[in-house]
């Protein structure tokens, strides 16, 4: 599909902002780290898609011929992602709101990368939508760089605004409020983890069971 320059840029901004605003486990990690450790910790986590999407986009283009949503690949991602998110939720529930030692600073970023890699929805986006703007007949096209640039600039800009809102509210919460907010983020992650697992189990249950 041939797309003009203006359409590539505007589409990238729209889809980037939409992906940034959409609720999901990555957003929970970004906002949680912003509240616990400050702006730069959250911002580093927001950079995770720039790393994980290298693999995600590459695999998506490889599978451009199309996989059904209920394929073993997506089912496996749902299960692994759900279990990993539940693990993160438990750790977040137990964790202190005080900053960790500096040597552990890379852990939230790696967690954000793994969460994105194990989330089937980025794959679905790049296979069904994103690939139309960056590839032709399964191969990357040069103009796709404009779409990717505007997509990630928009994504990061919206995340920065969201982090600013969280920091502004965090100053009013105090230490007890921070702890409650952290537990609230843990509950959100728990919900996403259970949702990922249920999405697979519901398909495996006999018809008419529910």
- Range(s) of the domain holding residue 88: 5-201
Return the ∠ at Cα 63 (arms to 59 and 65), rounded to 5°: 155
Domain count, the chain: 1
Please report whether residue 177 resides in a domain: yes
In tens digits, the chain (210 residues) has pLDDT values of 455 677 778 888 888 898 888 878 898 899 889 988 889 999 999 999 999 999 998 887 777 655 555 566 666 766 777 787 787 777 767 764 444 444 455 688 999 999 999 888 888 888 777 877 787 544 456 778 888 999 999 999 999 998 988 887 766 555 566 566 667 767 877 887 787 788 777 766 666 655
Please report whether residue 84 resides in a domain: yes
If 0-12 CB within 10 Å is exposed, 13-18 middle and 19+ buried, where does residue 54 land? exposed
Q: Round to whole Å and give the CA distance between 85 and 74.
A: 16
Q: In 3D, which of 98, 116, 108 has the Cα closest to residue 30?
A: 108
Please report whether residue 110 resides in a domain: yes
Full-prediction pTM beyond 0.75? no
Q: In the chain, what is the straight-line distance between the N-terminal and C-terminal CA atoms, in Å?
A: 41
Give the distance from CA 149 to its chain's centroid: 18
Please report whether residue 208 resides in a domain: no
Please report whether residue 127 resides in a domain: yes
Please report whether residue 76 resides in a domain: yes
Please report whether residue 157 resides in a domain: yes
Q: Round to whole Å and give the CA distance between 108 and 84.
A: 13
Please report whether residue 104 resides in a domain: yes
Q: Taking the alpha carbons of 58, 159, 33, 192 in that order, is the dihedral positive or negative? A: negative
């Amino acid at each position: 599909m041939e797309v003009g320059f203006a359409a590539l840029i505007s589409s990238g901004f729209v889809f980037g902002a939409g992906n940034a605003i959409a609720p999901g486990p990555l957003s929970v990690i970004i906002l949680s780290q912003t509240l616990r450790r400050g702006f730069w910790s959250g911002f580093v986590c927001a950079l995770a898609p720039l790393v994980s999407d290298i693999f995600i986009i590459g695999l998506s283009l490889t599978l451009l011929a199309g996989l059904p949503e209920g394929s073993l690949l997506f089912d496996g991602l749902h299960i692994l992602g759900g279990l990993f998110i539940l693990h993160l939720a438990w750790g977040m529930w137990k964790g202190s709101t005080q900053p960790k030692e500096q040597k552990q600073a890379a852990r939230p970023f790696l967690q954000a990368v793994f969460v994105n890699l194990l989330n089937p929805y980025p794959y679905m986006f790049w296979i069904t939508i994103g690939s139309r703007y960056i590839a032709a007949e399964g191969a990357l096209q040069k103009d796709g760089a404009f779409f990717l640039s505007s997509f990630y600039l928009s994504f990061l800009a919206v995340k920065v605004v969201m982090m600013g809102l969280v920091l502004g509210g965090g100053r009013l919460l105090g230490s007890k409020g921070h702890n409650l907010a952290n537990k609230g983020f843990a509950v959100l992650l728990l919900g996403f983890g259970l949702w990922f697992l249920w999405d697979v189990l519901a398909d495996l249950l006999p018809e008419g069971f529910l």
